[in-house]
Structure 1
Amino acid sequence: MTDEDFRRLCEFLYRRSGMVFTEARRYYVERRLSERMRATGTPSFASYFARLRSDQSGEVEPFINAFTVNETYFFREEHQLQCLSTDLLSARLKERPAGRPIRIWSVPCSTGEEPYSIAIWLLEHWPQVDAFEIEIIGSDIDTRALEAARAGLFGRRALMRLPEALVAKYFEPVDDEHWRLIADLRQSIGFSTVNLVDLAQTRAHGRFDVIFCRNVLIYFDEASRRMAAENLYENLLPGGFICLGHSESMSRISPLFEVRRFADAIIYQRPGERGDG
């Protein structure tokens, strides 16, 4: 790639996903590009980029998939799960109209560890779990990751933080290195594709009581972070909460949210009066 080719490719990726890649990550970009060119049998950057821009054979989707990061594991940042069951859900129940389900969104959900972790945590740690209808949705821009999430097959590294008793309770061994989540749990989570900087896509998912959006905004620039934050604000019910990764701060991104300090975690809240959720 020439410098101009690199600029055009990164600009295209930014417009379609919000992800920012600078010269410092040029080798990573070129390696992923080479993989897609080989996979599609495209001989030159010019012909591949033309293919991307016209989206021949649906190439945009696998191209974006090639650049996503799916490093995750069960019970990651467990203190936020503790805060969910100790503080956040009780606060949301005070504003919940009769008959409305509690809605929790994991975005991006990668290969499913986070939404499945939320389900397992609530089953194990929230005494009221059987008294309410709970809807957990996992969404991601990476369609390959979503296929893996639906399959519910995980390796030893993904399960490294789970107590052995929970692995035995919620997973079935496939071989010495892989376990599959039990069918009841796999079927309890809905999965969908979403681009956080696309308002139409985020809005289509409706509003939630709690959103987990961890360790993705660090890959965005200031403008796309602000756009994603505004979209997520629209996806929260008044009084709803959003959990970010430990290195992320909504206070530096958007003034729309209030900072809430609980015993286990710092969480961000969409303002709202009691009874308007």
Structure 2
Amino acid sequence: MTSALRTPPARVERVVTDADFLKFREFFYRKTGIHFDENKRYFVDKRLVDRMEATGAANFREYFIGLRFEAEGLELQHLVNSMTVNETYFLREAYQFDCMTNSLMDELATRKRPGEPLRIWSIPSSTGEEPYSIAMQLLERWPGIHLHDVEILSSDIDTQVLQAAQRGVYSARSVANLPKHWLDKYFTRRGDNEWAISRDLVAAVEFTRVNLSDPADTQRFRDIDLVFCRNLLIYFDDVSRRAAAEALYDALSPGGFICLGHSESMSRISALYRVRRFADAMVYQKPLTGEAP
């Protein structure tokens, strides 16, 4: 009795051609508003190949067909999670948090009726460092926190980072900028290189998945008094950047403020906002009803 030796299956070589890249780039842009330049080609190709391997697709065409026609959108979410870059730390660009507690919150509070909450929206949330920084800054440096109800909302398109934010466990590098008494007060040390944030702070932030380019996602955000949208619009092109600025404008209450990243300028994106210069930072404001931008 003899048995034939089986030849092992040939290794599938998955590649992304120039035409594949352009087709995917246009599709991803329509879905998210994020535009990939040619200089991101290696980054995009590697993650596409990783997803092809994870799903068992033999080539880009097979993977892309499945991606486009999957009703539940689960693979698109996996792809979004792999394509978005999330690197941040506590008290990043801290001068804007100082502006919040030294100037913005007092001005916003004067326009509130008794019992009406002040609402702050952090987008993108990334792994939570920004919304938790906002919460700690208010608790430590804004006396009005004892007089007013403040709601903190935080959103991201990436579901994995939202889960990480709700776990609230951070590296020593991430917490390096925090004052020692904040670290001792709001965190518990875990081992040599991890810090877990207070569950009270986790409970104080409402985390939601939001695609800033999807009106169905953003239209539920209204009467927001202060938006932190930092280092997100740099990934958009002019058209999607303008659409995002308009969505944020609609979300803001009259007189509400928006803080952008230090390299971003709302003045180059939209004429809807007016510039406000405070001692700590320059921010952008939705005019009060009846005011011109």
Structure 1 residue 56: deviation in Å?
A: 5.8
Structure 1 residue 95: deviation in Å?
A: 1.1
Partner of 1:203: 219
1:21 aligns with 2:36: yes
Alignment partners' CA distance in 2, 1:196 and 1:53: 20
1:106 aligns with 2:147: no
Alignment partners' CA distance in 2, 1:170 and 1:24: 41
1:31 aligns with 2:32: no
Largest Rg, 1 or 2: 2
Structure 1 residue 205: deviation in Å?
A: 2.3
Structure 1 residue 248: deviation in Å?
A: 0.2
Work out whether residues 35 and 235 of structure 2, in 8 Å CA contact, stay in contact via their aligned partners in 1. Answer: yes
Task: Please give the secondary structure, in 1, of the residue aligned with 2:262.
Answer: coil
Partner of 1:188: 204
What is the root-mean-square deviation in Å for CA atoms of aligned residues?
1.1
Structure 1 residue 258: deviation in Å?
A: 0.3
Work out whether residues 127 and 164 of structure 2, in 8 Å CA contact, stay in contact via their aligned partners in 1. Answer: yes
Work out whether residues 222 and 253 of structure 2, in 8 Å CA contact, stay in contact via their aligned partners in 1. Answer: no
Question: Mean Cα displacement is larger for which, 217-226 or 86-95?
Answer: 86-95
Structure 1 residue 51: deviation in Å?
A: 1.1
Q: Unaligned stretches of 5+ in structure 2?
A: 1-15
Matching of residues 125-274 of structure 1 within 5 Å: 125-273=141-289
1:8 aligns with 2:28: no
Task: Please give the secondary structure, in 1, of the residue aligned with 2:267.
Answer: helix
Q: TM-score, normalised by structure 2?
A: 0.91
1:46 aligns with 2:46: no
Alignment partners' CA distance in 2, 1:42 and 1:256: 46
1:89 aligns with 2:89: no
Structure 1 residue 93: deviation in Å?
A: 1.1
Q: Percent identity?
A: 50
Q: Unaligned stretches of 5+ in structure 1?
A: none
Matched AA of 2:111: E
Structure 1 residue 219: deviation in Å?
A: 0.6
Q: TM-score, normalised by structure 1?
A: 0.96
Structure 1 residue 126: deviation in Å?
A: 0.5
Provide the aligned length of Structure 1 versus Structure 2.
Answer: 274
Matched AA of 2:176: M
Structure 1 residue 55: deviation in Å?
A: 2.2
Choose between structure 1 and 2 for higher RCO, CA contacts under 8 A separated by at least 6 residues.
1
Question: Mean Cα displacement is larger for which, 74-83 or 195-204?
Answer: 195-204
Matched AA of 1:204: R
Question: Mean Cα displacement is larger for which, 103-112 or 168-177?
Answer: 168-177
Work out whether residues 106 and 144 of structure 2, in 8 Å CA contact, stay in contact via their aligned partners in 1. Answer: no
